[in-house]
Amino acid sequence: MNPSDHIIDSPIKSSPYNVPEIPIEIVSEEEMALIEAAFTATRSSLPSSFISSSASSSSSQSRLSLFSSVSSISFHSKRRLSGCSEGNTVRDIEDSGATQKKSIVPQSLLDRFRRRRGLAITDLTASEWCEKQMEFTLLYGKPRRTKAMKAGSDRHTKLEEEVIKKIKVQVKAVEDAWGLKLMNFIVGSNQLLFEGLTRELPLVGLVDGVWMVGAIDELRMPLTEEIRTPSLVDTKTRVKATLPSEPQQRNGRLQLMCYKYLWDNIVADSFPADRFFDFFGLNPHHVLSEDIIEHATSSGFPVKTLEDLVTCFRNACCLLPPAHDQLLLRYELQGDHSLLGEDQFAYESDWLKSQIQCCLEFWMGNREARYVPAEERWKCRICKFASVCPTNTSTNSSSS
């Protein structure tokens, strides 16, 4: 596939759902595989040489998904394993007592693992699920990808392809990679305005002084109403025909509320370009790759440098309204994609801000990782780090 390929139109069909009353169960190990996949995913954190973003095809206007076709960008080398700071609350896998008495102030997880990358929204939701599991994941690597995880990822790819045509774009520098992300936001937001639907829309913004990144699963906007307000939607796949437990639903609500908060910030024209360039180590005067310049020009916003593209990005944001306060989580059965249920809920600003502040305390090193509360310790049964987690090892030793 090359940048001159034609775009395949894929009309979007919608139909009302009659949702039966479905029993709710606590998760099984197989079921939780999908959730772990979502928590450990870093699709919106610009992983090495494969940068994916979006562009669409529905009827008259189409969006292309541009992604890197070269591997010349060097991001972050593999990190060494190391323990956390000594404390009374938690101990890491490698804590040995005698070797942990150094009075050195440890570097925060945010600086160690998200420097020049930004904190992903999935980092926040993973922390809300279990901070200790998030810490283990950062220090010792993600759990092995399972068949169930892959199936969930494949479903989201399929949904994306219903409105997006992917093409390859040459990327030579990190500025080009960010150029792709910003360009796909511009084209995706245009698709939303003209067609009423877009998916996998990349976001970047400043939240409480921390740069955050993410990708909205789906945005819908009515084309006929006088007041056109975009609605955020996220689709979760389930292995079994059961609705998720309350902690899982709470985690999904947190994710969507974070996306709305990030969306509302950038459409309010509060994107600080100078701080953006500084944090991510970008040269605003970098001349973008020929592919990016060509596709930006053909999309109606001719640019030359990254700074030009940031200006177009900010202009596009000014045309967009804040998102609707009603958010929607959809639950599909993985086998046949049938709808299991929908969770429509209201945006809660105060609750969201308290959750974000709590997560940032952990990420910024203001306190050590917390364990899940006692009433949610069932999560430990399907955690890949359960055998080495202090909360379980201490329990086992005391009961023996």
The whole-number pLDDT of residue 227 equals 87
**Is the per-residue pLDDT at 25 higher than 60?**
no
The whole-number pLDDT of residue 64 equals 60
Residue 172 CB burial class (10 angstroms; 0-12, 13-18, ≥19):
middle
Mean per-residue pLDDT of the chain: 78
Pairwise CA distance, residues 32 & 68, whole Å: 31
The whole-number pLDDT of residue 275 equals 96
Query: Could you report the per-residue pLDDT of 151-201, keeping only the tens digit for each?
Result: 777 777 787 888 878 888 889 999 999 999 999 999 999 999 999 999 999
**Is the per-residue pLDDT at 14 higher than 80?**
no
Output DSSP code: residue 77.
P
Pairwise CA distance, residues 290 & 273, whole Å: 23
Percent of the chain whose pLDDT exceeds 90: 58
**Is the per-residue pLDDT at 18 higher than 70?**
no
Confidence of residue 68 (pLDDT cuts 50, 70, 90): low
Pair 44, 195: CB distance under 8 Å: no
Tokens representing 89? 């609350």
Which range of 1-5, 56-60, 322-326 scores highest in mean pLDDT? It is 322-326
Pair 122, 39: CB distance under 8 Å: yes
pTM comes to 0.74
Over range 246-266, report the average pLDDT.
97
Confidence of residue 269 (pLDDT cuts 50, 70, 90): confident
Lowest mean pLDDT among 30-34, 221-225, 258-262: 30-34
Which helix (H) or strand (E) is 358 found in, with range? helix 349-363
Provide the 10 A C-beta neighbour count for residue 320. 20
